Structure 1
Amino acid sequence: MSEFGGMEDLLQDFLIEAGDLLSGVDNKLVDLERAPGDTGLLNEIFRGFHTIKGGAGFLNATELVTLCHLTENLFDKLRNVELRVTPEMMDVIMAATGSVRDMFGYLERGVQPPAADRGLIEDLKLAIAGQLVAGTPKAAPVAAPTKETALVPVVRAAVGADGLDWDALYAAVTGAAAPAVVEDSLLGKDPEEIITAAIGRRASDKPGYGGPVGRREGERQRDNSIRVDTARLDQVLNLSGEIGLTKNRLNALRSDILAGRADSETLHALDVAVSQLDLLVSDLQNAVMKTRMQPIGRLFQKYPRIARDLARGLGKDVELQLLGEETEIDKTMIEDLSDPIIHLIRNAVDHGVEPIGDRLSAGKPEKSIVRLEARQEGDHIVIIVADDGRGMNAERLRAKAVEKGLISDEEANVMDERQSYNLVFLPGFSTAAQVSDVSGRGVGMDVVKTNILKLNGTIDIRSAQGKGTTFTISLPLTLAILPVLVVRLADQPFAVPLSMVREILPIEAQHVQEVGGRATMVVRGEVLPIYTLSGLLGWPQDYTPEYGVLMQTAERNYVLAIDTFAGREDAVIKSLDAFRPKGVAGVTTLANGQIVLILDMKELLATSLEQGGTTREELLRKRLAVAA
């Protein structure tokens, strides 16, 4: 049950606007730390916090107003030069903005946030009084309690008077045995009230800055709203009007033709009207697609704070440079890109950037630069995360993968540098000597690769020892339209993502060799395995494939053997939510009206690898039989 009855719309508007404002404040605080005398920055930060406080006041979020007011007072003293910016003061301010963001989490659940941590309030008051000194002890942030953990202090470990088995309920929710603590005052109340009370009590009992986030990361709902420039909406409206006029013209011509008027003038007018409709529909499609596009800067704006906090915790001096923030990307991609970019930035700061002493010994500047850049290249968006750190050692990566049992010695011996770098994407791979709260479990880079592949993208690594590492992500401009290559197996067409296609090659029997029990081809000096489309789909192979499509992924290159191909199409993807056969990413309709399956090549290839692939005899059986 929400505590904001009748104010839900106002609450949602506040959370969207205040979230953007707070992200902007965080970025400006990072800039302020580098330029503590910039009064313009201080004024902008002050205005941002003042606006957040005003919105919180409308919602009667008293504790949020209190925290914002104290922080605002500190900013006021800084901008009036009554105090000066120090690292300790910045730590307190950053903790305050973190606590404000945590309070937003409560508001997302329709719950009034509890009071901020007492230690944080005391530190803010000391800072305002100019009494905050270096080395002032501060409580560490605590993990955000969830609904499950919040139930611990209030759930009865017995059957209550209301007949509910609280032990069973608690075990079903948390998967753990129920505690013995009982609070009779909460029995019989609405579950949301119990959860709210528990969260508030748990937050006030715990030491540390900040309160709980409203949902766990995995439970956070997607933001389905989108901001659209009115000029783009006007364009859509104008095109809709033009299409309406053209439709009326076509209806009139249809009536004339049905009435028996089929002279050359009428047919010419029909041809002109159809051509005009085709052009208008294409323009409308492009205009509608543009309404989905959002500046990637809205995604980038939260990363400077993350990089700053991590670098300070590791004792490193790192500056995150943002480039190409105006580059637009499909709104549906933004949330899926958030985690991969966070992992890449954390990886760059933790693993890529050397400690300050090592940088100075190597003749490098004390401050390291991590670059986050976005740009559009053709029909793709390219995102780059680059550092000027120690770089990657291909030989060490191979040795570590062998040590962990992820690859064999034979596989390691034939790997080139590019393949060695891609080992970091294997689940469980990590070069960290020990697990920390930042890295070491071998999960982060696997998440990066998995999320990028979900977006039909690719990721490439370039590295030079002593100079740094560059991760390059390439993504389609939009997920609504996917360029595909239409290939054929007998008379049946299938579509494969064009982003994976490098070229089309003829398959000739004399060029097919068998290596390790698999059919292979040599393409410009590289030995590539051949997989038949019929074999991947589990269909009988009635004909010997005549063409091979050179496919390239982050993990491997291979040749997809097909009967023939029909050309390139821009596929409008229709997802199969209720029923999705294995190896099928979606469906599309070709220009001739034929329905075509869009293949998930990664899933199909994984199945084929489990079954051992295609032998040369299987590939050429039909042709050899005919020749005999």
Structure 2
Amino acid sequence: MTAHSADLLGAYLLESWQNLTQLEACLAELRAGHDPGAVDALVVLYHRMRGSAALYGFPQMSSLAALGERLLESRPELPEELRQQLLGVLHSVTVCLRSALEGVASGQGEGEVGLTFAGIGGTRRLQDLLAARPTAFRAPSAPERAKTPEVPGTPAGLEAKLRAFREGQSDLWGYFAPEVREHLDALRTGLEAGESGDVTEMFRAAHTVKGSAYMVGFEVLGDFGHGLENLLSAVRDGERTLDAPARQALLEATSVVERLLRAAEGEPDDLAPVLARLSRRLTALVDGEVPEPEAPAPQAPGPEAPRPASPERRESVRVDPRRLDALMDLVGELVVSRARLGQTLSQLAGLTQAMTDSHARVGRAVRDFEERYLNPDMVRVGEGTATSRASVGELFDELEFDTYNDLNVLARAVTELAADFGEVRSSFGTGLSGLRDENERLGKLLRRLRQEVARTSRVPFGQVTTRLRRWARGRAEPLNLITEGERVEVEAGVLQGLADPLLHLVTNAAHHGLEPGGERVRAGKPPVGTIRVRAVARGHHLDVEVSDDGRGIDVAAVRERALARGLRSAAELAAMTDEAALHLILLPGLSTAREVTAEAGRGVGMDVVASNVRRLGGELLIRSRPGEGTTFTLRVPLTVRVAEIVLARVGRQTVAFATNSVAALREVDPGEVLGTPAGEAVEHEGRRVPLHPLRPLWGLPESGARGPRRVAVLHTASGLTAAEVDEFLDIEEVSLRPLEPLLASLPFLAGATVTSGGEVVPLLDPGGLERLAGQPRLWAPRLDTRGTRQQARLLLVDDSVSVRRVVGRMLERGGYRVVTAADGQAALEVLGQDAAFDLILSDLEMPRMNGYELIEALRSRVSTASTPVVVMTTRAGEKHQRLAFALGATDYFSKPVDETLLLRRLGQLCAGGAA
């Protein structure tokens, strides 16, 4: 094996263990008689293991995986006895593959796989099976494969069936088609972005298109979308790259989906050969092949071409005429208000002219005074005139008239000007007061107009429940679907955003929540399960509850799967409450399903739900009781366009809360803040409310200011919470903007807006703040561990050379100085010479001295008794964890581990964080 392949051996092992785990789950389902579709999944898994084993130089494992693929490739029809015999052969194949992988992981190589297979009876069972049915396992020839339709549901007359579907489902087509086109746009945008495209988002788009198509009964699109999703799944999981052939095929697939929609809307097209050709291409790309170029079928007109055969698509909303009359009344009031505003402005313009005239008079009086007393030359030039005036003054004296000198004249002029200015100021104040009153009336009118316009864009919630009922009727397994609140009106954009989450939730309830009929009867429940969808408008929010009366969520299984997927460490999972652990199902890729089906099992459904709800500025609440059922509550705003916000200051950052989520704004004396084991709290209306300072969210130190603490008490779906800020500012009415994908994943952000002063302000999500405070490891770091990392020394103990290299480089990228050891004995030898390590990261299964023995030895030595020891192993069983922690392990990770999670947790431990 080359050095390059040795470096990548760790990645091969991680992939192979995942494939083998899925193989065992699928075989168990087949043995129990569940889900015949698992055969297709097994063929894919055997094919993947065959190819990867051959690539990394393990020919015996490759041959054994090829045997499993060959046995199932023809989808043999067998009686029950031979079927069980076939499953026995496949079980032997799986046992040998696991044994060989364990040998590779321990550095001993794959061993004699063929001898092991014969030793456990696999060869004998295989020979008996072939003797009983020699032709059942013959692989189809190339001409037969070419004749076999690759896409179910594409017979002659496909276009007629598409049009019939659209005409028969005209009420839902107005929602379904725009949704699919929106996801197609997201998929195209990601593909056209090149290497910067988000593969996860593209996968979600394809998954949603496929799932929505199956839900509404559009099976042609569902089947084709399944192939599209499979290719993106392979890219997301690192099984292949998004190279030029794959990107081109995906772009062509988006065009074909658009053509499917247009054909359903009446545009003539010949789609059956196009679907078959592109489906074969997508399948070949998933298998790692580069398909030969095929002659393209005649292309339908592009989106920009004229389409005379079908009417132009226009988005429309039905509006009650009474609402239009109310809108016209408001428009009439706005016209009157605009006229009054113009009159007030004319009055202010007249006052401006009066002030201009008064200013001119002041200027003349000052100029005359200056000429007489401040410029003597000008006075001498005018002496003749002065003499004549003096003689006239003598006449005034004789007549006993009052005489006025220039100072008296200036004083009188200033007095008159002061009176003029007082009158102008009074008039200006009156006009300004009227302008303010008119502005307030105008604001009220605009608010009423906005509310009425928002009402015109609202549609009944029942438009979504219609789709859900149709989905329930089309299921093979019966269930009771009860819907409530169909008449609740929601903004069309909000309802459209809820469509996908609700489909995912009812699918999740049917697949994971409701038990089989027999199990329900044994538990004292009705044989048919019930799913209830209920919508209630509360203030400015809509609460949608999706509940079932099933088995509830197995929190232990969620914890186990999160550990096995490397999403959380054992110590973090142990510190979580059951409520916090329930929210782990929202993590991408986490699923408790044992098999992958067309509708569930890829670990993407709940991730889509959480993402869409956050995008709407809402929050998701999960409640579950074992044996009683689960309830998901989606709380979203009734409108997402305009809102009133309360502005506050945190350090130099301005933040905002929606006014409809604010229960109170308070100034709390420091002595009133309560200390609890879970953190600080305040009393509000007789209730103890948890308090979360926001400064740490931006990495700011404590303010150190003395005096009252400013607290916003906020509503969440689960109750009240409180956030501490530095200062409260104003209340403004603003237009909300959705977050970009980079920020949409932050749980404490509900959106963003621009204030009247032009400042971009984040809108905080109270529920997200509450969840974030319950998971301190996701909170912005309160202490800078970068310097600690640069000085920290780690001892990495693992018997795998590739693991030591891959993980060692990962740790070095994180800023650590890494020393490696091949097993526990070698680690003790290193520590005997130099025990100054900040942390020890160790595997469990190692020669000479295993991980348990190493932990016990470390804890018995004075020099290493307090050194954090973190276990990183493929063994995720509870008994393995219990023994490790009993011996003194600090934390426990399951391979494969997420790099970000590992570095964050090690940083906490090296910085003196909680064990």
Q: How many residue pairs were aligned?
A: 454
Q: In structure 2, what residue type is equivalent to 1:587?
A: T
Query: Cα 1:247–1:490, aligned 2, differ >3 Å: closer, same or farther?
Result: same
Flag the 1:578–1:439 CA change in 2: closer, same or farther, 3 A: closer
1:300 match: 465
Equivalent runs, 1:107-118 vs 2, <5 Å: 107=263, 111-112=267-268
CA deviation after TM superposition for structure 1 residue 382, in Å: 0.9
Instruction: Supply the distance in 2 between the matched residues of 1:577 and 1:450 (Cα, whole angstroms).
Output: 12
- Partner of 1:370 in structure 2? 531
1:352 Cα shift? 1.2
CA contact (8 A) 1:317 1:366 kept: no
**3-state DSSP class of the match of 2:474?**
helix
Please show how residues 525-604 of structure 1 align to structure 2 within 5 Å. Answer: 530=692, 532-533=694-695, 535-537=696-698, 544=705, 546-549=709-712, 560-566=723-729, 569-574=732-737, 585-589=751-755, 595=759, 597-599=761-763
Gaps of 5+ in 1: 1-12, 27-93, 118-143, 154-169, 196-221, 617-628
Equivalent AA in structure 1 for residue 548 of structure 2: D
2:689–2:722 CA contact under 8 A, matched in 1: no
Offset, 1:478: 0.6
Q: Would you say the 8 A contact 1:151–1:194 is kept in 2?
A: no
Matches of 1:95 and 1:579, distance apart in 2: 32
CA distance in structure 1 between the partners assigned to 2:348 and 2:444 by the alignment: 23
The answer to whether 1:486 aligns with 2:642 is no
Match of 1:614 among 782, 802, 806: 782
Letter in 1 for 2:616: L
Equivalent residue number for residue 345 of structure 1: 506
1:20 aligns with 2:170: yes
Q: Deviations over 1:534-590 (max 9, x none)?
A: x54467877649445567878999875421223655433256889999988422335
SS in 1 for 2:608: helix
1:521 corresponds, among 653, 663, 680, to 680
Residue 283 in structure 1 maps to residue 441 in structure 2: no
Q: 1:238 aligned to 2:329?
A: yes
| Residue deviations 1:318-370 (CA, integer Å, cap 9, x gap) | 02122111111111122221211111000111111111111222232222221
Structure 2 residues without counterparts, runs of 5 or longer: 1-162, 177-214, 223-256, 304-312, 352-423, 785-915
Task: Check 1:399–1:501 CA distance in 2 against 1; reply closer, same or farther (3 A cut).
Answer: farther
Q: 1:116-135 maps to which residues of 2 (within 5 A)? A: none
Instruction: Describe how 1:162-311 pairs up with structure 2 within 5 A.
Output: 177-182=290-295, 191-192=299-300, 224-260=315-351, 262=427, 273-310=438-475
Find the counterpart in structure 2 of residue 124 from structure 1.
Answer: none
Q: Provide the rounded CA distance (Å) in 1 between the counterparts of 2:593 and 2:740.
A: 40
Give the Cα–Cα distance (whole angstroms) in 2 for the partners of residues 565 and 358 of structure 1.
56
Structure 2 CA distance for partners of 1:447 and 1:386, relative to 1, 3 Å: same
Shift of 1:253: 3.0
The TM-score, its normalising length taken from structure 2, stands at: 0.42
Tell me the secondary structure at the aligned position of residue 301 of structure 1: helix
In structure 1, distance between residues paired with 2:292 and 2:462? 47
> Given the alignment of the two structures, is residue 355 of structure 1 paired with residue 446 of structure 2, yes or no?
no
Amino acid at match of 1:416: T
Q: 2:632 matched to 1:471? A: yes
> Deviation per CA, 1:305-327, whole angstroms, max 9, x where unpaired?
222333x1xxx320212211111
Q: Does the aligned pair in 2 maintain the 1:494–1:598 contact within 8 Å? A: yes
Displacement of 1:419 in angstroms is 1.9
Instruction: Note the C-alpha offset of 1:457.
Output: 0.8
Q: In the alignment, is the contact (CA less than 8 A) between 1:430 and 1:441 conserved in 2?
A: yes
Instruction: Classify 1:247/1:389 alpha carbon distance in 2 versus 1 (closer, same or farther; 3 Å).
Output: same
Give the partner amino acid of 2:457.
R
**Structure 1 residues 248 and 148, CA, compared in 2 at 3 Å: closer, same or farther?**
farther
Displacement, 1:259?
2.7
Identity percentage of aligned residues? 28
How many Å separate the matches in 1 of 2:629 and 2:717? 20
| 1:399 positional shift | 3.7
Pairwise CA RMSD: 5.2
Shift of 1:405: 3.3
What is the one-letter code of the residue matched to 2:473? R
Q: Distance in 1 between matches of 2:580 and 2:326?
A: 47
Decide whether the 8 Å contact of 2:541 with 2:637 is kept in 1: yes
Tell me the equivalent position of 2:261. 105
Q: Give the corresponding residue for 1:126.
A: none
The alpha-carbon distance between structure 1 residues 482 and 254, as it changes in their structure 2 partners (threshold 3 A), is closer
**Which amino acid is 1:301 matched to?**
T
Shift of 1:430: 2.0
Which residue in the other structure is 2:584 paired with? Answer: 423
Q: Deviations over 1:141-194 (max 9, x none)?
A: xxx9499549889xxxxxxxxxxxxxxxx99xx9973525447xx6xx7x5469
Structure 2: distance between partners of 1:107 and 1:249: 56
TM-superposed deviation, 1:116: 9.4
Give 1:597's aligned amino acid: V
Which of 298, 302, 319 is matched with 2:480 structurally?
Answer: 319
Query: TM-score, length-normalised on structure 1?
Result: 0.58
Q: For residues 576 and 448 of structure 1, what CA distance do their matches in structure 2 show? A: 16
> SS of the residue aligned with 2:490?
strand
CA distance in structure 1 between the aligned counterparts of 2:217 and 2:556, rounded to whole angstroms = 45
Deviation, structure 1 residue 509: 9.2
Report the residue type matching 1:428 in the other structure. G
Contact 1:339 1:448 in 2 (8 A): yes
Between structures 1 and 2, the one with greater helix share: 2
SS at match of 1:242: helix
Distance 1:96 1:572 in 2: 38
How far off its partner does 1:237 sit?
A: 2.3
Q: Counterparts of 1:581 and 1:359 in 2: how far apart (Å)?
A: 40
Mapping for residues 376-387 of structure 1, pairs under 5 Å: 376-387=537-548
User: Max radius of gyration: which structure?
Assistant: 2
Give, in whole Å, the separation in 2 of the partners of 1:409 and 1:529.
28
Q: CA deviation at 1:445?
A: 1.0
